[in-house]
Amino acid sequence: QSVLTQPPSVSGAPGQRVTLSCTGSSSNIGAGFDVHWYQHLPGTAPKLLIYGNTNRPSGVPDRFSGSKSGTSASLAITGLQAEDEADYYCQSYDSSLSGSVFGGGTKVTVL
């Protein structure tokens, strides 16, 4: 059971917008700790998509955007493309555990 809760799967047609949620608690996201998002394709290294809740590293398309409110965070993918099919993980810091925590991951399927 992950400290951060993500839906196991989300799907959408090409061109559509999908939103992935990441729900935490008062000891992590709700405490003001930053949320980061990663894209993970099987057999490859995870890739940083969003850092500090809303910031995109250089090279990440602006189709990806992050937001945070209260004890939750979200990753939005607009103009969904076949290459976006992957697992997505959120990450934050938890003060009660004194360390990083990940969500269980959301598998995005492009229909």
The residues that touch other proteins, with contacts defined as CB under 8 A, are 2, 34, 36, 38, 40, 44-48, 51-52, 55, 57, 89, 91, 93, 97-105
If we measure between CA atoms, which residue out of 44, 41, 53 comes closest to residue 93? 53
Residues 58 and 8: their CA atoms lie apart, in Å, by: 28
CB of 48 to other proteins, least distance (A): 5
40 vs 63, beta carbon nearer other proteins:
40
Residue 66 C-beta: closest distance to other proteins, Å: 11
Please identify, using beta-carbon distances, which residue of 38 and 74 lies nearer to other proteins: 38
Task: Write down the least CB distance from residue 50 to other proteins, Å.
Answer: 8
Count other Cβ atoms within 10 Å, centred on residue 78: 14
- Kindly list the distances between the CA atom of residue 26 and the CA atoms of 3, 46, 87, 92, 96, in Å, as whole numbers in the listed order: 11, 27, 26, 12, 10
